[in-house]
Amino acid sequence: MTVVPSAEVLPAVLPTERLTEMGRPVPALRSDLRRVPNARNIVTVVLAWAQSFGIMAAAAAIDRWWAYVLAFFLMGRAFALLNILGHEAAHRLLFSSKGANDFVGRWLLAYPAFTAFDVYRRAHMAHHRDEFGPDEPDLGLYSGYPISRASMRRKLVRDATGISGWKNLTPLLKALTKPSSRAMAVRILAVQAAIWAASTALSGRWWLYPLLWFAPWMTVWRVINRLRAIAEHAGMERSTDRRRTTHVVRQTPLARFWMVPYNTGWHLAHHVDMGIPFRRLPALHRELVEAGWVTPGLEYRSYRALWKALASGDS
C-alpha cells in the first residue's frame, strides 16, 4: 500500500511562461513573491507572544479549573505559532535584515520553544536539499507509512503522555555536559528561566510556568507537531518531483488555527521554492494549480482524510 501519488495525477506541464521545469517562479515573478514585509512581520511576532502570554494571563485571571484546562490545550497551539515563525527565521525570511532575523529567530522564537536555532537550521536545510535522501534528518519520522491504526495510536499516546517530550528534552540536558554545546543549552535554559520568572511575577503563581508552558510543550505540542509533520511528508519518496515528496491538503480555518498557522499548510509550494516568505505561499500554490501542475487528484480533502490514509497499513 502506498500514499505516493500515481503518474496519472502528475502531468508533465512545466515549464510555462511563469514557472520553471521544477515549478519555481521565473525571476520576474519570483522577485515579487520574495519580498519580505518587515513591518507586518514585527506585528506578527508581537501578536504570537501576546497570544501565548495572553492565554496564561486569562487563565490566571479567571482562576477556575476549566480555564486552566482550556489554556493547557491552547498553549500547545502557542508552540505551533512560535515554531512556525522560528522556521521562517531559519529560512532567513522573517526579516530582511540578517541580524534582526537571526536575533528574533533565536531569542524570541526558538529558545522559548526549547529549540537550538542554529542546529535546527542546519538540519532543516539538509531536509530541503534532498527529501528522503541519505542525509534526511527526519527520515525516521516520515518513513514506513502507511502504518496500522494501532501503531498510529501508540505514537500519539507516547506524544500525549510526555514520553516523546522527554525524548526531545534529553538532548538539551545532555548538551549541558558537552563543552561544544553547553553555551547553546545554557541560553535556552536561561530563556526558560526568564519566562518562568516573568509568569510568576505577573501572576503570583509559581506553578503557572510548569502547568501552562512546560507541560503543554511536553504533551499537546508533541501531538500537534507529529500530526502536522506526517501530513507534510509521511509515506512519500525521494524524487526531484516535489509532488512525490510532499502532500497537498486542502486548507481550512480550523486546521490553520490549531496546527498549520502562517500558511505552513501550503507545504508543497514551500518545498518547490523555499525562498518564498510564508505570506506569499498561497499565491505560489495558485500559480502551480493554474499551470495544471497541482491537480485535484493530488489534494486530500482534509487532514483527517490524510491521517486516515496514513493509518491504513498493516504494520
Burial 11-30 (b: 16+ CB within 10 A, else e): eeebeeeebeeebbbeeebb
Same domain, 236 and 306: yes
CB 148 within 8 A of CB 237: no
Same domain, 249 and 297: yes
Model confidence at 153: pLDDT above 90: yes
Q: Which domain holds residue 50?
A: 36-129+162-218
- Asked, for residue 156, whether it belongs to a domain, the answer is no
pLDDT of residue 314: 82
Domain count along the chain: 2
Predicted structure pTM score? 0.96
Same domain, 111 and 199: yes
Same domain, 2 and 82: no
- φ/ψ of 62, rounded to 5, equals -70, -40
CB 215 within 8 A of CB 161: no
- Asked, for residue 94, whether it belongs to a domain, the answer is yes
The per-residue pLDDT for range 39-83, each reduced to its tens digit, is 999 999 999 999 999 999 999 999 999 999 999 999 999 999 999
Model confidence at 308: pLDDT above 70: yes
- CB neighbour class for 32 (10 Å; exposed up to 12, middle 13-18, buried from 19): exposed
- φ/ψ of 194, rounded to 5, equals -65, -40
Final residue before a domain boundary, out of 191, 218, 245: 218
The per-residue pLDDT for range 132-147, each reduced to its tens digit, is 999 999 998 999 999 9
Same domain, 51 and 200: yes
Same domain, 3 and 23: yes
The per-residue pLDDT for range 261-271, each reduced to its tens digit, is 999 999 999 99
The per-residue pLDDT for range 171-189, each reduced to its tens digit, is 999 999 999 999 999 999 9
Residue 19 DSSP code:
B
The per-residue pLDDT for range 186-212, each reduced to its tens digit, is 999 999 999 999 999 999 999 999 999
Same domain, 310 and 251: yes
- Asked, for residue 224, whether it belongs to a domain, the answer is no
